[in-house]
Structure formats: structure tokens, C-alpha cells
A and B are shown apart, each in its own frame.
Chain A
Amino acid sequence: MKKPWSLAALTGVAALATLAFAQSREGGSEPPPSASATVQPIAFPHSTHAGQFQIDCQYCHFSAERSVDAGIPPVASCMGCHTVIQGRNQPEEVNKLRDYWARGESIPWVRVYKVSDHVRFPHMRHVAADAGNLECQECHGLVEEIEVIQEVAQPLKMGWCVDCHRQKEASIDCTVCHY
């Protein structure tokens, strides 16, 4: 009955976790939505923001360098620009944002990237200059070219992590990620 490996883990990635309601990667009772099927409450084009306008990833994902959690931008951050920028391509989507802001509501983004519950993935250890100094794109793909964010080809499985740790001569000890 009980699956011993189906751990109710607490990841440190708490803000991301708040958005994790739509996916379950383990156990299998809810199949993970395929990336292309991900419908976000607002059709946010990463390609426009990160690509066309070359906004730095960490302008919005503000804590990636200092926290386990990359951080999902507060609605206020979005409004920092969109108070004045209506957007040419999809102005109705910007209106949705303004409605959330007006209602004082958080935007229920659908989570796309999630490691299993028994894994600790500290963003800062990978991103910070003195630590891994990785580009976000190494794991998340060429986000600046993707309109609807979706998981890049590699599934977030341990083998993929370990390959990279081996390549970069990072520790492959179990308790680096599992505790």
C-alpha cells in the first residue's frame, strides 16, 4: 500500500512549491501535463522579455544567486513595467496582470520545473559566481527563445544531474542533494 520511496519531502524551493499544484512527478496518479499542454493563467512570453528586451533572468528571478529558491517575481515586479507598458502583441494578457494587481491577488502560475521532493536543489550553489557560475540556460534551455516556457529535452532525472556533476567535477556524494 505504502510506497516507501514516495516521500512527502519539503524542498527548499518554497515559492516555486506554492505553484506546484498542477504537477505530480512521482507516484503517477496525476500524469504530468506535457509541456506543450501547459496553459498559464497569463500567456507570458519569455521570448519577448528575456529575448527581445534582454531582461536579465535575475531581474525577475531575484533570489537565484542567494537562495535555494530562484524566486518567482512578485506581481509588483511585473507592474513595475506594466503600469506604463501595455504591450503590443497581447495587450489583453497585460490586462489580466493588471486585474490580478488590482485585486491584490497572486498569479497562480503553473509550475514547470520541479525536482523530486527528496532532492535539494540550491539555486545559489549553481548560479552564484563563486559557486557553480552556471548560466541559467544550462538547465532551463534557451528560455529567451521560447514563448511558452516548457521543460527542455532533458528530464530532471538524477542521471542528468550526476552527468553534469561528473563533468564539472562537482561532488557526486548522495548527501549533497539527498537529506
Chain B
Amino acid sequence: MSDGIKRRDFLKVLGTGGAGATVFGCSTQQVERLLPYVVPDEDITPGVATWYTSVCGECPAGCGIWVRTREGRVVKVEGNPDHPVSGGALCSRGFSSVQGLYDPDRIRTPLLKEGGEFRAITWDQAEGLLAQRLEGGSNHLFLTGRVGPSMTDLLDQFLSFVGGSRVEYEALSEAPLRNATRIAFGRNFLPTYDFEQARLIYSFGADFLETWLSPVAYQRGFARMSGVDAHGSKGRMVFLAPRLSLTGQNADEWVPLRPGCEAVVALSMAHVIAREGGDAGPYRAVLQAYDPANAETASGIPAREIEELALRFLQEAPSLAVGPGVAGHHRNATAANLAVHILNAVAGNVGRTVRLRQVDEGAAARPFAELRSAMDAMAQAGVVMILGTNPAYSVPPPAGFPAALASAGFRVAFSTAMDETARLCDLVLPDRHFLESWGDSMPRPGVFALQQPAMQPVPLFDTRQAGDVLLSLAARLGGDPGAATFYDYLRSRWAGIGALAAPGTGFDSFWRDALRKGVVELTDQEEEGPVPLRSPDTALSFDPPPLDGDGEFTLVVYPSSRFGDGKHANRPWLQELPDPVSKIAWHSWVEVNPNAARRMGLGTGDLVVVRSPHGQVEVPVWVYPGIREDTVALAMGGGHEGYGRFADGNGVNPMVLLPAEVEQPSGALVKLATRVSLDPTGRRRPIATIEGSSDQHDRPIAPAASLASLTRGSGEAGAGEEQGESGHGQLKEIQAMGGFAPVATEGKPQDFPLEGSRYGQYDPAANPRWAMAIDLDKCTGCSACVIACQSENNVPWVGEEQIIMGREISWIRMERYYETVDAGHPGPVDIRFLPMICQHCGNAPCEPVCPVYAAYHTPEGLNAQVYNRCVGTRYCANNCPYKVRVFNWFSFSEVPEPMNWGYNPDVTVRSGGVMEKCSFCVQRIRETQNRARIEGQRPVRDGEVVPACQQSCPAEAIVFGNIRDPHSRVAQVSQNGRGYRVLDALINTQPAVTYLKKVTFHEVHGGEH
């Protein structure tokens, strides 16, 4: 074969060690568990997946995960259904952790900088050197991101031993919320929120579906609350913020607040509720000043509307107000969070939807402020150590972090991959990825979870877990930390949890159970009642914050739902995932309101210079009706310089536009701080978007039904059916004339094969028909399914250039259509999300056009694609009305080592020239059928086959199964009155996918969409 590489890739992926390794020259260090065949490993049966429980380390939410391994290699991560946070789901960042593990840019050995260049050294040299530096100096500093409770304790113990202090810095800290909770209720920790119980949610810019606190758990709660139930009841969300984030796009109403006015509006609502009898406690006097009329002047929201919002908040109980999130961290952010707390307290939500129970008292309270004082102290510090945080990227340049770091005596980075901060250090110690390490988490009160290594460390990288290094250093320096490895340390700390959780059983048995289930829940925590408000802190100002500069626009800088603060940026899956809001991949954009863009003569793709008093970036405009006319917005996470091959040079880092200022009293970094001007450059750049149009152009792709129409019981699918009739009429005419036309039928998804169709030889009684139902009232467009599908099905990424040419290869296209969004007028938000996958049509247009029968229909109703038959004519893609067939223009599967290790061995890796598309995870169907067969020829149970997208969905929007079985869940859900099949009424494709219409509170245009 002329391109022998594929063969090599194949072997590298599959080689579980020795034999393959000898031939292809991989490191012989792959021996160990990767070579289980000298002595069999009890955990490993070749060809059968082994699953391990663990905890996702991508953000502080601490979702429990199941890690799927094959022959000792991690191939997928899924949510742990037993874990109360993840509930079996995950977000796109969690699913992408496999690419963090197999990141080809991970550091391979300890590195020492000499003469400005890094050179490889051994671990013994590295630890010896560091021990010497620690012994020779004093006032050491340890900068960390969020780490688990045991690691936190070890760090503190280590630092008290060597003489130093620890500073926690997370760029996405919710310090203002924590401080507001302290001021309001005397509790210095983050509350938890019960979205599921609420009937009305006011989000003052908290992006709880994407980045805020615990997005997977909150998304599940929100979807259960906002999805219409059997009684026709549905919770409601109002989004009060200058820009519609993904969370905002899922709101039912939008109040486009002037940036920084949350406190005024929230307090004004509290004023009205207090007037109606709400108990404002010690804030009674404060609230006097916030008459809606006064608030109208400050916020621009009409007093009448504030009054109405307040009364609804009281009446549609239980209600819940949240926010502002990181994007709203302005100079009075603590006061803004406090105002939201007051609103909740006055409305009686505290103890109902707002829970104030201890979670993580150990976490630092003043993140950026502490980093600043740590930076001042660096000149006196002997050794500065950095773990899990990247301030050289995420702190605005005026803070002078690189210069401060340079003033330290010696700089050490513990890091899995080289990043901007590690590059500034003298010694770089390659850390283990969280899928290779031990750890723990305590995401909620009474919930403890263990993080365990799911595989031996990737042998290409000579890594050690930071905890092990600290213990080893302590031993070198003559200390006795009481444990030789972090594993021992963790076990000793868990002895206490074991005694509480499983008294009477031995620790080893408790430990095994904890590892097997992945989570330990102590249920003896008492439910807490209402907590009274404390006396006001008079130093706080609730006024809209001052902004720097005199530019025309206020700049909103928000955490990216794909990259967070930027630490997930070196992952091609996430780079290529279209942003859930803008649908743009790979590069940054600045969001500009259409009116502002028109006024300035700008359109999407025009390059502008965004200029603040602190810096400037050049970035293309994306015209977005979901942002105020006086505001522009940039996402964090782009513009890396020195993070890796997939991150560097993509997009811009908005932090360069910000001052390095501390919000008081929380100590958070101020992010909503400045005005900017947009200066057109006269140049344009192509936008890497997957979006054809944000408008449905009057086609019923994602129709909706109003809540009223559901309760009226009028068949809201009526209009569609009529269209169907007429379409069929035409088909019948063509057939009557002897022409070829698809079979005209009034079939339902379970009617397969259709009577008279060319699939007639299949026996319906002997085969299931696989089908799916997707509830668009629950789908939030978060795109977790897109990454889960890529991971499961070896779907490649293609790069920005190919995306611009329209050659994306994702099997799921998360479509997003605007119906009603108008920044000029507060009111309904109607944005429709529709995960578009292969519809597995019963009357598939792609099949008859394939000259080689690569596209055909299976007896089980799957629209199959046989890769080894496909010769790449692409006729099928041209004939697919859903645009779900994608083509491998090149051999995108040739990925840098060791990314190929993450391939799913149960799915063919496609090479150049092959068409592919959603297979309904046929490998999972076959696996389940095979299992059922060898387990005594039992039938496949309903719900036993779970495709990757259904498994991933935090909103629980997807159901899959055999629709031929009338008792199956998919058959029942598909019969819902909201059910429709995309374009079926027009072109008679008879899809196997039934979507349930989104439900809106307002009457939808034209009765349908």
C-alpha cells in the first residue's frame, strides 16, 4: 500500500505492548500493564472493555465518571450514573479529556532551563535539584488551581514543612458569590442551587448551562424544570444580562440589562416583594431606596416591567435567582451577587431552591487579590512552584505576572503539558493526567468521590504525580509525611470517611466498594431551613460600576463553554466543536449587535481592532442579535502562545484588553471593566462556521408549539400533516405515470419496511426497528453529544481550512435557529436547537443513488454505510436532504502519536475517500445483541442499547430503542402529540428519528414555527 502509515497507525493503536512494540520501535516501557500477556491481568479480557470509576478533573464541579478502557488503554469517558453531580452525563469538556490524556504536546521528561533552553534531565536529578533549592531558600510559594481535598491538605502540610505558603488562583473563580454569601448569610462558601424544584428562574447572567459552578448537574435540573410535563406544566427562565449566552439562548424571556445593573434591578424587585409582604430583614432600610422608578433611571428597564417581574417572582414560587457569573465580574460584583441573594431571601427561596450547606471551606476566598500579593512576595521567595494554573496566560498583562515570576529565586512548574507559565519556569516537572492519577473530590456536602488511575501512565511521557513528588521531596529533606506515595496518603485520609460511611466493615472492603461505585454519600446531613439575612455591610456599593475608557461599547469577556478560561484549548475536538452560541470553530470573533454593525458598516467576517485603554486585539466581527447595541463580547480561551499545536495562534486572548484590577471585597479579577472601540481595518477573513443559516426560511425544520396550544389539545402538528398530504399526492401522480418515485405512504417510524417499498423482503416480525426520539423542549444545544459521538465513533477533525470549505466531518450538527430575539425590546426569546443526525430514513434518498450499494437499508431499519464498498462518488451526500453525510476528503485519521491510542477499537477508522455518517452507534447495538445472545439467548431489553449521544445528554433529551415494540420508551415518546419528523411531510423520507417540538410560552408564528 502506497500509504503504509495507516497500517502502522493500526498497529500502534492496537499494540498492547511488547510484540508490536519490538517491531515498530515504541518504547519498551510500554511493558507493565500494557503488556498483560506475560502474566494475565485479572482486570483485562482482550476484546472486552474494562470500566473504572473516577472523577472528572476538567473543572471544579467534580462530575463522577466511568472510564472505558480496552486492553489497558483509555478510549472513552462517560458520566457515572451513580454520581449525584453528573447523573451519568458529562459536558463537552469532560468528554474531551481523552484528548488531554493523549495530547501529543505533553511534556515527555523533566526539563531544566539552562541558558534559556530546556534540556531533559532525570527525575532523580530534578527532585534532587528541587530539594536543594527548597532547603537553601525560604518563603516558598505554591500557586495552584483547584485541587482535591486530599491534595490541598498535602500541599499545606508540605508547605508548612518546607516553609512557604499556598495561593490558589482559578481564572474562573466565583469569589464574589462566595463573599456575597458570607456577607448575606455569614457563610463563607458557595451555595448550591436546586434548579429542578424551581418554577421560575431569573438568571442575572449566570451561565449555569455551560460554565457556572456545576453545569452538568444544573443542566439536568434545568431541563427537568423547563421541559413540559405530562400535565402541560413547564417552568420558565428569564435571562437578565447584556448578552445572550447559551444559557440565555435557552431562556424564555430576555431582559437585556445594561451591563453592571444587576444589583439595581434585583434590589428593586426585592423592594416590590418586600412591599408585598416579603421579609427583607435587616435590608428593609436599604431596599427603601430602590423604588422601581429609581431603578428605571439607572437601568433603563421600565418601572412597570420591574414591578411585573417582581410580582411574578413572588407568585410563581418556588422561584430562584442566580448570578451574575464570571462575565459579570465588574467592580461591584460582590454587591451584585449580594443583591441577588437578597432577592432570593425576600422571596423566601433560601432553604428551598438556594441551599446553604458547607461544601469547600478550604478554598481560598480572595483569588486574584492573593495572587497579586503573592506576586509582590515573589522577589523574596526561594522557590515558586506552580500546579494546575496558567496565570501567564489568564492574568491581564498589566499585572506583570511574567516579571514578578522572573524575580523569584527559582521557578518550578508541575504540568501535564507545556503552557505559557511553564515556559517561564526553570524546572518543569511533567505531571500525570487526571486519568492516570489518584485523587479525590467533595463536590457537595456529604458526597465524596475517588479519582483512580484508569490506565498505566502513557509510556511516551515520563511523568510523576505531583502528590508523589511532594512526598518524595519531603522524604529527601528528612521529613516524615507518614506516606510514601500519594495513594497511601489518600487512603489514610479516607480512613475517616470509611469509619463514617461504613462503620463496622473493614477499611479495605469500604475502599473497594468506594472505587467500584465511584462515590460515597453520607446521608446524615440534616436539611437546612431558611437562613436569615445578616446586617448589611455599609461599605458595599450597589451602583453600576465605573468603566475604563471612552470607547463606544462596553466589553463583556465571558468564559468559553468549550475552553473555559483557556485550559482546554489544545484539543482539536473542542477547537473544531462549533461554539454553541456562534457556531464558529477554531478562531475568535467579537459579537456585535446588528444595529451597531449596520451603523458602522460592518458585517460578519470584517476584521476590526478592538481597542481598550489597556490593549487591543484584531478579530472578525460576528453579527449577533442576542447582544445589546452598546455592548460587544469576546470569549476567553483563544490566542494561546506556547500551549500546543492545536491552540497556538487560534483566536485572540481577550484578557489583554482588561486592567489587572481587584474587585473588593472578594478579591476577584475584574472582567467587566472597560469600554472599547471597534476600528474597522477594511479587511475581511472567512468565518469557519458550520451554520448555513440562522433562519429556517419558513421550512418546518424545528417547529415549536405554544404551551397554550398543548393545553387546548389542538393537534399542533396539523399544518405539517396537511403539507404531507399534498406532497404524497404529487408522488402518487408521478408513480401513476410510471415514473420512479419513493413510495408514498402515511407510515409511522415503526412501519418499516413500508408496504410496497423495495425493502419488502425484510421480515418485520423478525427484526427490530431502531429509532430515536429527541425532545427539543429539553435540548439546550450544549453540544456534549457532539464530542461524545466523536469519541465513540472515531470521528476525525479536519481543521479550520476544511471547515471554511464546508467539509466538517461531525456526525451530529447542532443546528440553531433564531425565531424571536430582539435586543431592542425585552421579551420572548425563541431560539431553537436541533441536533441533526442521520435520520435513518425508511425511504432514504441516499440509498438508490449509490452505484456500489455502499448505502443501503438493513433489516433492522438502519441506514447503513459500508465503508469497504464506498468508492467516494459522494452521490449520496448530494442526495441527502439533511446534509448529514460527510466525506473524508483526506485521511484525517492520521493523527499524531499518541492521539490514535484513544480510538475506539470497535469502530472502523475511516481513511480518505470514504463517505460516513451517524450509524446509530451500530457497534453498541451489535455488542448488546451479542451479549444478549450469549447470555442464554435472551431478548435485548428496552433501554439496553444506548447510543453515545443519548448517554451523554445532561438534559436527558434523547431516547433510543426498538420502536416496533409498542411498550418501548422510544415508541411511547414518539407518540407524543409534539412529535414530528423533519421534512417528512414535504419529501416523504420516513425518518426513524422523531423530534418533539419545543414548547414556547408565546404563540408561535403561523401556528407552527
Q: A16's closest neighbor in chain B, by CB?
A: B46
Separation of A131 and B936 alpha carbons in the complex (Å):
8
Complex interface: chain A residues within 8 A of B862 (CB): 175
Contacts of B15 in A (CB 8 A): 17-18
Structural contact, A108 and B22, CB atoms closer than 8 A: yes
**CA distance in complex: A100, B22 (Å):** 14
Q: How far is the CA of A105 from the CA of B38 in the complex (A)?
A: 6
CB of B864 within 8 A of CB of A117, answer no
Closest Cβ–Cβ distance, residue B80 to chain A (whole Å): 24
Whether A12 pairs with B905 at a CB distance below 8 angstroms is yes
Question: Does A171 make an interface contact (CB < 8 A)?
Answer: yes
Contact partners of A76 in chain B: CB under 8 A: 38-40
Contact (Cβ within 8 A) A29 B867:
no
Taking the closest CB of chain A, its distance from the CB of B39, in whole angstroms, is: 5
Are A18 and B14 in contact, with the CB atoms below 8 A? yes
Contacts of A105 in B (CB 8 A): 18, 38
* Residues of chain A in range 1-24 having any CB-CB distance to chain B below 8 Å: 1-21, 24
Q: Given that A1-B3, A174-B864 are known contacts, is A131 also in contact with B18, CB under 8 Å in the complex? A: no
Taking each of A7, A74, A178, which has the highest tally of chain B beta carbons within 10 Å of its own beta carbon?
A7
Interface string of B893-934 (1 = CB under 8 A from A): 100000000011111111111100001001100100010011
B907 contacts A74, C-beta separation under 8 Å: no
Contacts of A117 in B (CB 8 A): 10, 908
In the bound complex, CA of A101 to CA of B37 (Å): 11
In the complex the two chains form, what is the Cα distance from A10 to B862 in whole Å?
Answer: 22
Contact A15 B906 (CB under 8 A): no
Q: Does A130 contact B (CB under 8 A)?
A: yes
Question: CB of A139 within 8 A of chain B?
Answer: no
A7 CB to nearest B CB, Å: 5
Contact B16 A108 (CB under 8 A): no
B926 touches A14 (CB 8 A): no
Closest to B933 in A: A131
- Judge if A66 is at the interface, Cβ distance under 8 Å: yes
A173 to B914, CA, bound (A): 20
A118, B868: Cβ atoms closer than 8 Å: yes
**A33 CA to B794 CA, complexed, in Å:** 31
A124 at the interface (CB under 8 A from B): yes
Contact B47 A13 (CB under 8 A): yes
Known: A7-B911, A72-B37. A175 touches B933 (CB 8 A): no
Contact: A18 with B16, CB < 8 Å? yes
* Beta-carbon contact of B10 and A8 below 8 Å: yes
Is A47's CB within 8 Å of the partner chain B? no
The answer to whether B934 and A66 touch across the interface, beta carbons within 8 angstroms, is yes
Q: Across the interface, which residues of B come within 8 angstroms of A113, CB to CB?
A: none
Bitwise interface map of B from 842 to 875 toward A, beta carbon under 8 Å scored 1, else 0 = 0000000000000010111010101111111000
Q: Does A71 contact B (CB under 8 A)?
A: yes
Given contacts A18-B16, A21-B24, A175-B864, contact A29 B36 (CB under 8 A): no
Q: Is A63 engaged at the interface, CB distance under 8 Å to the other chain?
A: yes
**Contact between chains at A179 and B7 (CB < 8 Å):** no
Contacts of A176 in B (CB 8 A): 926
Q: Are B11 and A21 in contact (CB under 8 A)?
A: yes
Q: When the two chains form their complex, are residues B18 and A108 in contact, meaning their CB atoms are under 8 A apart?
A: yes
Chain A residue nearest to B919 (CB atoms) is: A179
Contacts of A4 in B (CB 8 A): 870-872, 911-914
Residues facing A in B1-55 (CB within 8 A) are 1-4, 6-7, 9-11, 13-20, 22-24, 31, 35-40, 45-48
A159: interface (CB < 8 Å): no
Bound complex: CA A72 to CA B908 (Å): 23
CB distance from A66 to the nearest CB of B (A): 7
Of all chain B residues, the one with the shortest Cβ separation from A17 is B14
Determine if B70 is an interface residue (Cβ-Cβ < 8 Å): yes
Query: Is B934 within 8 A of A65, CB to CB?
Result: yes
B906 to chain A, nearest CB (A): 6
A14 with B891: CB separation less than 8 A: no
Given contacts A4-B870, A67-B46, A176-B926, whether A106 and B17 have CB atoms under 8 Å apart is yes
With A26-B1, A67-B48 given, is the CB distance from A131 to B930 under 8 Å? yes
Query: Contact at A63–B45, with CB atoms within 8 Å?
Result: yes
Dominant SS at the B interface? loop
Known: A67-B48, A125-B930, A179-B926. A108 touches B908 (CB 8 A): no
Evaluate contact between B17 and A18: CB separation under 8 angstroms: yes
Q: Quick check: A74 and B905 within 8 Å, CB to CB?
A: no
A101 CA / B18 CA spacing, docked (Å): 13
Residue pair B864, A7 in contact (C-beta under 8 Å)? no
Residue contact B868 to A178, C-beta cutoff 8 Å = yes
Does A112 make an interface contact (CB < 8 A)?
Answer: no
Is B19's CB under 8 angstroms from A109's CB?
yes
B46 near A116 (CB under 8 angstroms)?
no
* Bound CA span A50–B859, Å: 40
Chain A CB within 8 A of B468 CB: no
Q: Give the most central of A6, A73, A179: most B CB within 10 Å.
A: A179
CB distance from A45 to the nearest CB of B (A): 20
* Inter-subunit contact B19/A21 (CB<8 Å): yes
**Cβ-defined contact, A174 with B47, below 8 A:** no
Question: Which residues in window 50-75 of B have CB below 8 A to A?
Answer: 70-71
Complex Cα gap A17–B17 (Å): 11
Chain A residues positioned under 8 Å from B693 (CB to CB): none
**CB-nearest residue of chain B relative to A75?**
B38
Complex Cα gap A9–B794 (Å): 10
User: B871 contacts which chain A residues (CB < 8 A)?
Assistant: 4-5
| A98 beta carbon closer than 8 Å to chain B | no
Nearest residue in B to A117 (C-beta to C-beta)? Answer: B10
Kindly identify which residue among B1, B856, B906 contacts A3, using a CB–CB cutoff of 8 Å: B1
Contact of A27 among B1, B70, B868, B933 (CB under 8 A): B1
B935 within 8 A of A: yes
| Contact between chains at B934 and A128 (CB < 8 Å) | yes
B19 close to A108 (CB less than 8 A) = yes
- In the complex, what residues of A have CB within 8 A of residue B912's CB? 2, 4
Cα(A36)–Cα(B6), bound, Å: 28
For the complex, what is the distance from the CA of A116 to the CA of B10, rounded to whole Å? 12
Whether B934 pairs with A8 at a CB distance below 8 angstroms is: no
B47 nearest CB neighbor, chain A only:
A69
Q: Does A77 contact B (CB under 8 A)?
A: yes
Q: Are A21 and B20 in contact (CB under 8 A)?
A: yes
Distance in angstroms from A42 CB to nearest chain B CB is: 13
A125 CB to nearest chain B CB (Å): 5
Q: Is B538 an interface residue (CB 8 A)?
A: no
Q: Is B937's CB within 8 Å of the partner chain A?
A: yes
Nearest-Cβ distance from residue B69 to partner chain A, whole angstroms:
11
**Chain B residues proximal to chain A, CB less than 8 Å:** 1-4, 6-7, 9-11, 13-20, 22-24, 31, 35-40, 45-48, 70-71, 794, 856, 858-860, 862, 864, 866-872, 891, 893, 903-914, 919, 922-923, 926, 930, 933-937
Nearest first, the 5 closest Cβ-Cβ pairs linking A and B are A27-B1, A69-B47, A4-B913, A8-B6, A106-B18
Q: What are 17 sample pairs from A and B whose C-beta atoms fall under 8 A apart?
A: A5-B868, A5-B870, A7-B867, A10-B794, A14-B47, A17-B20, A18-B14, A18-B20, A65-B934, A66-B45, A66-B934, A75-B39, A118-B867, A125-B934, A128-B934, A173-B858, A174-B856
Given contact pairs A106-B38, A108-B23, enumerate 11 new A-B contacts (beta carbons under 8 Å).
A3-B2, A4-B911, A8-B6, A10-B10, A14-B47, A17-B14, A18-B37, A74-B36, A104-B31, A128-B934, A179-B907
